Structure 1
């Protein structure tokens, strides 16, 4: 059971929910996510994001647990075990939800570690998966960056700014996948960089985050090129030269020397 992280008058509704769900034979797992699962993020308005995993032969949430599933204190998502196995993974409707399981807390696991194992698998990118993700998102990042740089060249700063901003999600996916990590939601990006750094100084919070803010703010060309140079070095070292080189001489437009 997680410790109390905020002063809330309705906190007992969360503890009551966990106790009630834990007592139900239909429930095989409980996972806490969101701000309440990440130290230092929760505020007085943060609810408790709880995934309730039910047995496949009883996929519906028990009636006693349906009341108050979405309130100031609770945001409950119920999933059968089969649905939870693929939830947040590539190809799933909720693939965007994968980061929810990074730093999450397993509150209940009635399946001898199965729930814990599934959460751990969602929380990281395995080698081959990370490799393929870097390759696809690196190409997408370069595409948006190339469009932005060309628009700067052609004196169209407004549309250059839009493409620069659009490149950032691809860029972040690449950077985190290079470290076999799931890209954080924007809300948790700075916290992630500060509390779980990526290691190399070029990815430090006080280096990377200001660059991202500058790009999103106005699409600054020099900042975009400088950051691409950093990404290019890391991608080549990780074995992704073929993606970069497939751009031929066009890649020169993305580099600081262009």
Structure 2
């Protein structure tokens, strides 16, 4: 819950200093962590006194418990009244080893990271972000929540597109492997990973996490499918990126196909026609049932 008017920053500063002491203790970056906490505390106090600062959102590792290190900076979105971003608040913009402060006017913040904004790549920043300062009516928290999850309509639109892109990369990977193009196969295999993850998370109405937070997200907020539990899925994704990539890609496809059909995406799969046989591994000359092709053909 965000905090609105009043000396809310005193409580916030105390919370973060306690948190920093716990995360920094015993690390080699204690001094850097302490300096970052001090800079962040000073920012909170300044923002708390500025009526033109509508909201402050903490994201990055400092907002995700257990991911911060002694060297972690504070990633902050500072939301200003429209027009106020050109006033004194402009001095709060910075990016260094202690603070990364992005200042946005309210109108721009409303659209930021949402479809059509051009900054869709930044959407996960708001998943599980912490609203530290908010307006009296909770507007900033409402906007952050909308960025942090897919709407039902967004998930319904994006999931089939992500599945189709995943299938395209699977096909290209396995075709290149069959034809002896090992480098192309590995590159195409790597391309399957972001599309697979985007699809898997979209089915849960969730934004695909940045790679840095993938393991944390899977362990703290598992996907709704036992086969994609972190201790099983993460090694499989690692194998996709290895020399055994094509075999792992085929395994991944075989896990996706029945689930995709159960979720109503059979037409996307069937649109690939006979190429599904190559993906499944039943095409003559494409390798054994586990996808161990001989690179010829």
TM (norm. structure 2) is 0.83
Unaligned runs of 5+ in 2: 1-11, 25-32, 284-297
Unaligned runs of 5+ in 1: none
Aligned residues: 257
Counterpart in 1 of 2:54? 28
4+ residue runs of structure 1 moved beyond 4 angstroms?
none
The match for 2:65 among 21, 24, 39 is 39
Is 1:73 the counterpart of 2:98 in the alignment? yes
1:226–1:256: 8 Å Cα contact kept in structure 2?
no
Is 1:3 the counterpart of 2:16 in the alignment? yes
Counterpart in 1 of 2:80? 54
2:93–2:102: 8 Å Cα contact kept in structure 1?
no
Residue 47 of structure 1 and its aligned partner are, at CA, apart by 0.4
Q: Structure 1 pair 165/88, CA: closer, same or farther in 2 (3 Å)?
A: same
Q: Distance in 2 between matches of 1:54 and 1:66?
A: 12
Aligned-CA RMSD value: 1.5
Alignment of 1:153-192 (within 5 A): 153-192=178-217
Counterpart in 1 of 2:174? 149
Larger Rg: 2
The match for 1:98 among 112, 116, 123 is 123
Residue 256 of structure 1 and its aligned partner are, at CA, apart by 4.2
Q: Cα deviation per residue 1:137-185 (whole Å; 9 max; x = unaligned)?
A: 1111111111110011111111111110112111110011011110000
1:146–1:253: 8 Å Cα contact kept in structure 2?
yes
The match for 1:123 among 148, 154, 158 is 148
Q: Distance in 1 between matches of 2:260 and 2:150?
A: 16
Q: Distance in 1 between matches of 2:192 and 2:244?
A: 10
